[in-house]
Amino acid sequence: MVDAPLITSIFTSFQRRKWFAIAIPVIIFAYLFYAAASFDVLGVAARARMDNAQNLLSDFWSYKVNVIRDNRNGKIISAIDADARYSYAPDWVKTEGEVTQIDLGDGHVVTYDAQGAHYVVPGYGTISVIASNGKIVLDAPQPLPEWISVSDTRVGVTTPAGRFIYTKSKVETQRFFAGWELFFFTFDSPFYGKSIGQLTALALWDARLDPALPNWEAISHDFLTNSLWHHGDVLWAVFETLLMAFLGTFCAALIALPLSFLAASNMMPWLLPRFGMRRVFDFIRGLDALIWTLILVRAFGPGPMTGALAILMTDTGLFGKIFSEALENIDEKQVEGIRSTGANAIQRARFGVLPQVLPILMSQVLYNFESNTRSATVIGAIVGGGIGLLLTQAIQTQKDWEDVAYYLILIVVMVIVIDWLSGLIRRKLIKG
Amino acid sequence: MVDLAFGPEPGKRPDLSDPRHAYLRMVRQKRIYGAVLLILFFVLLAAGFHLAETRNAGDFLNGLPMLGAFPSEVLTEGWAKRANVPGLALHFVPSLIETLNIAAVSTLLGGLCAALLALLSTRGLAPFPRLIPVFRRTMDALRALPDVVIALVLIYVMGGGPIPAVMAISIHTTGALGKLFSEASENADLKPVEGLESTGARWGQRIWLGIVPQVAPNWASYLLMRFEINVRASAILGFVGQGGIGADLKVAMQWGQGKYDQVVAIFLILFLTIVVIDRGSDWLRTRLTKGAHHG
Query: How far is B156 from B172, CA to CA, in rounded Å?
Result: 18
A31 CB within 8 Å of a chain B CB? yes
Model confidence at A204: pLDDT above 80:
no
Give the percent of chain A with pLDDT over 90. Answer: 11
Taking an 8 Å cut-off on Cβ atoms, the answer to whether B55 and A381 are in contact is no
Query: How far is B247 from B253, CA to CA, in rounded Å?
Result: 10
Would you place residue A247 in the very low, low, confident or very high pLDDT band (cuts 50, 70, 90)?
very high
Cα–Cα distances (Å) from A168 to A75, A152, A155, B9, in that order, read 14, 10, 10, 84
Shortest Cα distance, chain B CAs vs residue A75, angstroms: 35
Query: How far is B121 from B178, CA to CA, in rounded Å?
Result: 9
Q: List, as ranges, residues 94-123 from B with C-beta within 8 Å of A.
A: 98, 101, 104-105, 108-109
**B49: chain A residues, CB-CB within 8 Å:** 247, 305, 308
A250 CB within 8 Å of a chain B CB? yes
Shortest Cα distance, chain B CAs vs residue A254, angstroms: 10
Interface test with A, best of B64, B95, B97, B156 (most A CBs within 10 A): B156
Q: What is the mean pLDDT of residues A204-212?
A: 74
**B271: chain A residues, CB-CB within 8 Å:** 286-288, 291
In this prediction, residue B114 carries a pLDDT of 94
B58 CB within 8 Å of a chain A CB? yes
Q: What is the mean pLDDT of residues A232-256?
A: 93
Edge-first strand listing for the sheet containing A76-80: A76-80, A62-70, A170-178, A162-167, A154-159, A148-150
Model confidence at A188: pLDDT above 80:
no
Quick count: other Cβ atoms within 10 Å of Cβ B121? 26
Model confidence at A41: pLDDT above 50:
yes
Shortest Cα distance, chain B CAs vs residue A150, angstroms: 24
Interface test with B, best of A18, A282, A378 (most B CBs within 10 A): A378
Of A287, A385, A404, the CB nearest to B153: A404
State pLDDT tens for residues A50-85: 777 777 787 778 888 888 888 888 788 888 877 777
In this prediction, residue A40 carries a pLDDT of 79
**A40: chain B residues, CB-CB within 8 Å:** 161, 163
Among A401, A404, A371, A400, residue whose Cα is nearest residue A388: A404
Quick count: other Cβ atoms within 10 Å of Cβ A359? 15
Q: List, as ranges, residues 307-346 from A with C-beta within 8 Å of B.
A: 308
Of B55, B149, B232, the CB nearest to A303: B55
Taking an 8 Å cut-off on Cβ atoms, the answer to whether A251 and B45 are in contact is yes
Lowest mean pLDDT among A3-12, A107-116, A133-142, B117-126: A133-142
State pLDDT tens for residues A402-422: 888 888 889 888 988 888 888
Mean pLDDT rounded to a whole number for chain A: 84
pTM of the model: 0.81
Would you place residue A246 in the very low, low, confident or very high pLDDT band (cuts 50, 70, 90)?
very high
Note the ipTM here. 0.78
Of A240, A305, A385, the CB nearest to B60: A305
Shortest Cα distance, chain B CAs vs residue A134, angstroms: 35
Interface A-B, measured as beta-carbon pairs within 8 A, has a size of 173
Would you place residue A256 in the very low, low, confident or very high pLDDT band (cuts 50, 70, 90)?
very high
A215 CB within 8 Å of a chain B CB? no
Q: What is the DSSP letter of B12?
A: P
B275 CB within 8 Å of a chain A CB? yes
Q: Which has more confidence, A357 or B1?
A: A357
Taking an 8 Å cut-off on Cβ atoms, the answer to whether A39 and B166 are in contact is yes
Taking an 8 Å cut-off on Cβ atoms, the answer to whether A395 and B275 are in contact is no
For A362, residues 6+ apart whose C-beta sits below 8 A from its C-beta are A426, A429
Q: What distance lies between CA B46 and its chain's CA centroid? A: 28
In this prediction, residue B116 carries a pLDDT of 92
For A366, residues 6+ apart whose C-beta sits below 8 A from its C-beta are A422, A425, A426, A429
Helices (H), A176-270: 196-204, 215-224, 231-263
Q: List, as ranges, residues 383-422 from A with C-beta within 8 Å of B.
A: 384-385, 391-392, 395, 398, 404, 408, 411-412, 415-416, 419
Shortest Cα distance, chain A CAs vs residue B161, angstroms: 7
Taking an 8 Å cut-off on Cβ atoms, the answer to whether B58 and A303 are in contact is yes
Per-residue tens of pLDDT for chain B, all 295 residues: 444 555 555 556 656 677 888 888 888 998 899 899 999 999 999 999 888 888 888 788 887 888 888 888 888 888 888 888 888 888 889 999 999 999 999 999 999 999 999 999 888 778 888 888 899 888 888 888 888 888 888 888 887 778 888 999 999 999 999 988 988 888 888 888 888 889 988 888 888 888 888 888 888 888 988 998 899 888 888 887 777 888 888 888 887 777 788 888 888 888 888 888 888 888 888 887 776 444 3
Say whether A191 sits in a helix, a strand or coil: coil
Say whether A135 sits in a helix, a strand or coil: strand
In this prediction, residue B22 carries a pLDDT of 84
Taking an 8 Å cut-off on Cβ atoms, the answer to whether B52 and A299 are in contact is no
Q: Which has more confidence, B294 or A175?
A: A175
Q: What is the mean pLDDT of residues A16-21?
A: 81
Of A38, A300, A392, the CB nearest to B152: A392
B146 CB within 8 Å of a chain A CB? yes
| C-alpha dihedral, A68 to A70 to A75 to A80, nearest 10° | -20
Q: What is the mean pLDDT of residues A214-226?
A: 81
Give the residue from chain A lying closest to B266, CA to CA.
A291
A228 CB within 8 Å of a chain B CB? no
**A32: chain B residues, CB-CB within 8 Å:** 105, 108-109
In this prediction, residue B124 carries a pLDDT of 78
Helices (H), chain B: 2-6, 19-54, 60-63, 69-80, 84-120, 132-144, 147-158, 162-186, 191-198, 203-206, 212-240, 244-255, 260-294
Q: List, as ranges, residues 172-211 from B with C-beta within 8 Å of A.
A: none
Would you place residue A1 in the very low, low, confident or very high pLDDT band (cuts 50, 70, 90)?
low
Of B45, B52, B144, the CB nearest to A305: B52
In this prediction, residue B5 carries a pLDDT of 52
Would you place residue A249 in the very low, low, confident or very high pLDDT band (cuts 50, 70, 90)?
very high
Q: What is the DSSP string of B209-220?
A: IIIHHHHHHHHH
Q: Which has more confidence, A238 or B217?
A: A238
For B5, residues 6+ apart whose C-beta sits below 8 A from its C-beta are none
